[in-house]
Amino acid sequence: MEYQVTITEVLSRIERIEATSALMAEEMVRRRYTKEDIVLDYSDFKDVHFHASNSFYFKSPDRAFTLLHGDCTELLKQFDFKFDMIFADPPYFLSNGGISLQSGKVVCVDKGDWDKGGTPEHIDSFNREWISLCRNKLKDNGTIWISGTYHNIFSVANILTELGFKILNVITWAKTNPPPNISCRYFTYSTEFIIWARKSKKVAHYYNYDLMKQVNENKQMTDVWRLPAIAPWEKKCGKHPTQKPLAVLSRIILASTQKGAWILDPFTGSSTTGIAANLLERRFLGIDKEEEFLNISRNRKHEIEDLRTFASYRKKVKDIALLDKENASFLLKEEEDGYDLPF
């Protein structure tokens, strides 16, 4: 009797690479093997403790959702990649011991040490550093969205102008369910601002005008968006103190990207940006210093890997549900195939 036996050989070798970071080292190894006609893919690195800096936190099996652990002002220097869009929800510097009302209880508004304010010079310096790094990570026709309140948004606008961005709009997000002002000494705080700017004054940006008109009862979309704050079903994987609702991020992503686009969030928190991106068939890289928040992000991605949950969330997000109901072709063309992160 004749038998066919398949023998698989696994070769192992140690590579010593001089690089400025673990991310750079991996990229250099991949390039070296490519030159030798040896193809490496993600599976070759699954069980390898390659990232000595611990910056690499998570990559989903579909490669559409990646998380890095660390300070964006350090990590953005360590790889070369261009994104179609960036959404940033940086520290607002409003943690000053104030109080608010949450679920009927008086609570402190402090978010953490990362949100405590400094001098105007410190805030400007901080914004200049991370916005400059983000500019280098945008495609020439790419756009950036930055959220804030009066605590930081004027600094952000000045720095964007200083660095050569063209401000396209300042969106006023009017929350339909804001918490009451318990001091009764001020108007109720019910808005946040989101600046939309393109990288170059001379290179045209992408804007899905027709789609925005469609979700706005066939009228031009204005720069005032009346959308709810975060809903309880969006916090099932854990709470983040400044988590944005999917309703806001979905509209931003639909307005300014196409299917397959790459989106960066340098202060990703619980990664609402990434969840919205994946619900809309876009790809995502998120960076955060807090491992606790990255754990929430990873769990949220695992949550929508269940097809029933994925479909349920699309029904709960206003703009997506409307477009699905009308069978709108809102994903449009896909970005170039094979364009992937270098790690």
pLDDT digits (tens, 9 = 90+) for 219-228: 999 999 999 9
User: Are the C-beta atoms of 252 and 194 separated by less than 8 Å?
Assistant: yes
Decide if pLDDT at 324 tops 80: yes
- On whether the CB atoms of residues 67 and 284 are closer than 8 A, the answer is no
The pTM assigned to this predicted structure is 0.81
Note the pLDDT of residue 35.
55
When pLDDT is cut at 50, 70 and 90, the band that residue 327 belongs to is confident
Nearest Cα to 264, choosing from 148, 192, 256?
Answer: 256
Neighbours of 7 (CB within 10 A): 4
The predicted-structure confidence for 210-265, as pLDDT tens digits, reads as follows 999 999 999 999 999 999 999 999 999 998 999 999 999 999 999 999 999 999 99
Rounded CA separation 58/53 (Å) = 14
**Alpha carbon distance 81, 24 (integer Å):** 12
pLDDT digit string (tens) for 19-54?
555 566 666 666 666 655 566 655 555 444 344 445
Strand partners for 262: 283
pLDDT in tens, 53-98: 459 999 999 999 999 999 999 999 999 999 999 999 999 887 565 4
pLDDT of 283 higher than 50: yes
pLDDT at 293 over 80: yes
The CA-atom distances, in angstroms, between 15 and each of 18, 32, 167 are 10, 10, 46
